[in-house]
Structure 1
């Protein structure tokens, strides 16, 4: 094996990247990957440190233009997509990021998230009960996808009649996060970004004038020392909450159940002891990481594992590899639903730590809990296939019977 085995476009690699990651951690923990133009970093210690290192950023545009960083000017047709994405905090750096996260945190509070638990319990129960009543089906389409979309729609205040629009918009926008997306994927993402922006702009304006008990109203009204979110920032925040909360939660549900079906002893352990659900969720987040790779731009020269990486380079931080690093996790390729401690980095670290992590944990706990309770004999009917993407890694479908 060599570093060429790292191929995020290969279906075989996407299906099982872990042998390649093991080799990379041992032999090439830092190397330059010519096809993607990225420095690939695979060890937990290095990924952990770089996530907290302010010499790296999600963007470089706060300090330099594209040309200075050796990048081509952005294609004009992509402007609606980038205008939307860059209005959310994920693609911001301080001080703008600091200001936006402070404002959003005043509305997206722990109390508000916890207040959603009864709604999440009800929705998860209804979806699991429906799956059981049908005798099975596609667990992703029947449970994993509807739950987070409906929770986020409920949280934002999107009318029930419009909620069917959210899932396609989210999936189309997230297509742009894959490595070197083809032009047709880019155009689809642009269309979705424009449609979603227009929809949310109209909704936000109506809630600014007539507030309700929802997050869009709260974001529209939040004030801190006279500072408010701009309309673009409000819209970018809502889109980020949907995309991040939907895609990762769906993938964690599908990937996690697929892991449980492949480890029947651990599945029986969970069925016998529901108190394991919280630690099981953390282990499933670690074992098959739903967003296996995050990128950062190098804002100042750095050295990683003795390798110099220059300013202007892009690094690919391999979360999935770090989460299987034996230097941090004992017997890392073993699924252990009682693993403790479990310092996985699935939600990131540092200033970009996932704001929605508490909500995701509640959704996952209630989803798994409802299925264990209402479909206790859930079993796989067909071996699933992985979707082609690696940056957001998940299954096409997961067919089960009850």
Structure 2
């Protein structure tokens, strides 16, 4: 990918098209070039600065001069933003109270009321249930000798687990997946009007479904996250129905989409490496180390956007309030200044401080759950399916928000 002449502060311009299939197929070649050029580039196609160095990305994730939201401190008119599009109003409403997009104090209040369900000890209590689910799924295709892993395993496991946590019927998994897939298409670089209309329709159906479930939980409370969100109180405040809906949708969409892609990316990484899978999961400690290296080596989230909340200067670049910056999380994980031989898959490496779950205020709420699912799913697959191999070269999906595979065909 092309890095052209220097601009602002002596940094380079990235001329690669954000629509180029080659960028999705192997983004790490571009990240390596960005690191060689100093780690900071102006991406012409997106029209803003992007940062790739581990130290810089880690700092910016924690820097309160940058945020996921900006309309809490400025109007659309002040920022020159177009008014909201009417044909995606239901999608916008479903996202209005998303933890991923909020800033304090709204973010602090909402996260505090939800966080208890995702602490490590709470999540660990689900281990036996998740293990049983993983093995039941493998039972359904083990004798076939082949499988498309994402549809038969990768998608089903995380959406079922999130449904359990929320107190939703596991049998609703297929429609939850359909709504999730439609909504996530809003993050395509080249999304169409049809994509937007489909996402809006899915958002409306998803919201209606969740409001019905919330009403049921009020009548018949259970020991689940949705009931907890309805009844939890802090400082005399409770979550509104709209806040509960946005939070449940975020947990289902992000918790499902990211883990699906991480399972696929991890299996591909291991199969394409020179490592013997039987040694990678020999003990709990080895399994945990392998999972962390898979998360570092090829994570599902590559680019995280931030708004500039106050005029400031970073790396000799003057940034103005209202501008946007991009943080290359996956590139930070391949920073040669921070990680020795970053392009080598090495579960034995001592540094584990990847940024795949972010950092700071918006550190991934579901990180303990994602880690547990991977620590269960990967050993189960390689133990139950000896001789596991790629049936064909996997194709990377063309998505903005999540980096993953279109499909993963395997045989054994």
* TM-score category (smaller protein): over 0.9
**Secondary structure of 1:174 counterpart:** helix
SS of structure 2 residue aligned to 1:264 = coil
Which segment is superposed worse, 230-239 or 375-384? 375-384
Report the equivalent of 2:147: 137
Match status 1:62 vs 2:41: no
Determine which of 277, 280, 283 is the counterpart of 2:287: 277
What displacement does 1:35 show? Answer: 2.4
Corresponding residue for 1:354?
364
* Aligned twin of 1:21: 31
Contact preservation (8 Å) 1:46, 1:305: no
More off after superposition, 208-217 vs 180-189: 180-189
1:398 Cα shift? 0.8
Name the CA distance, whole Å, in 2 between partners of 1:4 and 1:98: 36
Structure 2 counterparts to residues 366-385 of structure 1, below 5 A: 366-385=376-395
Aligned partners of 1:97 and 1:214: how far apart in 2?
A: 22
Deviation string for 1:147-184 (max 9, x for gaps)?
A: 00111111111123322111111111111123363222
Partners of 2:278 and 2:383 within 8 A in 1: no
Indicate the residue corresponding to 2:225 in structure 1: 215
Residues 174-253 of structure 1 mapped to structure 2, 5 A cutoff: 174-179=184-189, 181-253=191-263
Could you tell me whether the CA contact under 8 Å between 1:266 and 1:336 is conserved in 2? no
Deviation at 1:118, TM superposition (A): 1.4
Query: What runs of 5+ residues in structure 1 fail to find an aligned partner?
Result: none
- In the TM superposition, 1:2-401 aligns within 5 A as 2=3, 3-27=13-37, 29-179=39-189, 181-267=191-277, 269-270=279-280, 275-401=285-411
Aligned CA distance change for structure 1 residues 32 and 69 (closer, same or farther; 3 Å): farther
* Paired residue secondary structure (2:79): coil
TM-score, structure 1 as length reference: 0.96
How far is the alpha carbon of 1:115 from its aligned partner? 1.9
Q: Deviations over 1:1-48 (max 9, x none)?
A: 314453332111101111211111222633332322332211112111
Question: Structure 1's 179 and 55: CA in aligned 2 closer, same or farther, altered over 3 A?
Answer: farther
Q: Aligned Cα RMSD in Å?
A: 1.7
SS at match of 2:84: coil
CA distances 1:175-217 after superposition (whole Å, capped 9, x unpaired)? 1123363222111111111110110011011101210122111
Q: Within 2, Cα distance between the matches of 1:336 and 1:299?
A: 38
- Quote how far apart the aligned CAs of 1:272 are: 5.7
Deviation at 1:242, TM superposition (A): 0.8
**Contact 1:282 1:342 survives alignment (8 Å):** yes
Contact 2:182 2:202 (8 Å CA) reproduced? yes
Q: How many residues align?
A: 402
Q: 1:259 deviation in Å? A: 1.1
